[in-house]
């Protein structure tokens, strides 16, 4: 797999996402929170999806205080959402928004790390539900709204362990391989029939709660903060990446 990087000197223009409606999953914390704030700063109306209402409300307040377009909050637990709830969500968004211009699949669970021969089935299934099945269901039901955009972008969050397998990373690694596969299949299906582009983005080591849990021996501040990697998130979401689809990116 060839890994691409965004141009090193990339500087998004101030109105890059003006008038765009962008949904971010896992928008209450970590990289998703930063992406939601950045997208709003560059003009987007951001739809904040996550499982913890208080975190989403804090991001909502931050966007409003910074003078951004009024966001929307979608409180939803992707580990237990039914197919019907995805359908209902898509209908509700269709009533409220003319179209959807961007979808950042960012929410994920780390799950347990350890050998496959002792992996717990319940945790395995939960990781797959959030990291893989929710991506499918959200995309599946939001595609009609994305088709209405003059150039929508779907960005799926990958990982280094989703590109080359690594022992003891279990369901998480497998879910990120599935994410790469989903991106490739969907990108090919949409390439000649729509203006939607689909790519993966690996943030690489970033100082968040998930990173601190995965690597307790690291000094957290040695890793870049989510704010430090937003150039790649903006590049792939905005028109500067128009025409690029089916590709795997690293944030740095
Ligand atoms: P994080 O700080 O743990 O944030 C994950 C977000 O996903 C949180 O907002 C969390 O909600 C949400 N989420 C988890 N389970 C959910 C569920 N069942 N329903 C809805 N939302 C749910 O992780 P992060 O480091 O920012 O990770 C963001 C993405 O980058 C993930 O896809 C991760 O795999 C990927 N990644 C991260 C790194 C890194 O070094 N940080 C490296 C490679 C890839 P709550 O806040 O309510 O828990």
Residue-wise pLDDT tens digits, 192-237: 999 999 999 999 999 999 999 999 999 999 999 999 999 999 999 9
Residue from 108, 163, 249 whose mutation best tests the ligand 1 pocket (most atoms within 8 A of CB): 108
How far are the Cα atoms of 20, 27, 34, 74, 162 from residue 165, in angstroms, in the given order?
A: 36, 28, 28, 34, 6
Catalytic pick among 39, 60, 141, 172: 172
The mean pLDDT of 73-96, rounded to a whole number, is 98
pLDDT tens, 43-64?
A: 999 999 999 999 999 999 999 9
Q: How far is CA 244 from the centre of its chain?
A: 17
Contact (CB, 8 A) for 17 and 46: no
> Quick check: 197 and 237 in contact, CB under 8 A?
no
Residue nearest to atom 31 of ligand 1 (CA): 108
The answer for residues whose C-beta is within 8 angstroms of residue 61's C-beta and 6 or more apart is none
- Name the closest-CA residue to atom 33, ligand 1: 108
Ligand 1 atom with the shortest distance to the CA of 213 = 3
Say what the pLDDT of residue 4 is.
98
Q: Is 39 a catalytic residue?
A: no
Atom of ligand 1 nearest to the CA of 226: 26
∠ CA 235-205-159 to the nearest 5 degrees? 70
Report d(CA 237, CA 23) in Å as an integer. Answer: 11
Give me the pLDDT at residue 70, please: 98
Tell me how far apart the alpha carbons of residues 234 and 16 are, in angstroms, rounded to a whole number: 8
* 126 Cα: distance to centroid of ligand 1 (angstroms): 14
Give the whole-number percent of the chain exceeding pLDDT 70: 100
pLDDT of 52: 98
The domain 3-250: what is its CATH number? Answer: 3.40.50.720
Domain boundaries, the chain: 3-250
**Closest atom of ligand 1 relative to the 27 alpha carbon:** 9
Residue nearest to atom 10 of ligand 1 (CA): 26
- pLDDT of res. 8: 87
Name which residue sits closest to atom 27 of ligand 1, judged by CA.
Answer: 31
pTM, entire model? 0.99
C-alpha span between 114 and 125 (Å, rounded): 15
Please, are residues 157 and 199 in contact by the beta-carbon 8 Å criterion? Answer: no
Pocket residues for ligand 1 (CB within 6 Å)? 26, 28-32, 50-52, 55, 77-79, 106-109, 130, 157, 159, 202-206, 208-211
Question: Ligand 1 centre from 52 Cα, in Å?
Answer: 12
């Amino acid at each position: 797999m060839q890994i691409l990087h965004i141009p090193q000197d990339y500087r998004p223009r101030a109105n890059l996402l003006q008038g765009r409606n962008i949904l971010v999953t896992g928008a209450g914390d970590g990289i998703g929170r930063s992406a939601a704030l950045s997208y709003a700063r560059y003009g987007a109306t951001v739809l904040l999806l996550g499982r913890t209402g208080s975190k989403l409300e804090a991001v909502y307040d931050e966007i409003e205080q910074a003078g951004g377009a009024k966001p929307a909050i979608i409180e939803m637990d992707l580990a237990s959402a039914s197919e019907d709830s995805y359908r209902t969500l898509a209908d509700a968004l269709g009533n409220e928004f003319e179209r959807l211009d961007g979808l950042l699949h960012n929410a994920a669970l780390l799950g347990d790390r350890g050998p496959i021969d002792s992996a717990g089935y319940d945790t395995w299934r939960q990781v797959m539900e959030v990291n893989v099945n929710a991506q499918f269901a959200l995309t599946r039901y939001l595609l009609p709204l994305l088709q209405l955009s003059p150039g929508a972008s779907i960005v799926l969050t990958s990982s280094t362990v989703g590109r080359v397998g690594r022992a003891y990373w279990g369901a998480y690694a497998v879910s990120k391989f599935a994410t790469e596969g989903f991106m490739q299949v969907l990108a090919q299906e949409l390439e000649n029939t729509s203006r939607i582009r689909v790519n993966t983005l690996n943030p690489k080591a970033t100082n968040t709660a998930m990173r601190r849990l995965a690597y307790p021996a690291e000094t957290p501040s040695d890793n870049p903060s989510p704010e430090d990697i937003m150039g790649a998130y903006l590049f792939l979401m905005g028109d500067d990446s128009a025409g690029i689809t089916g590709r795997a990116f690293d944030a740095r």
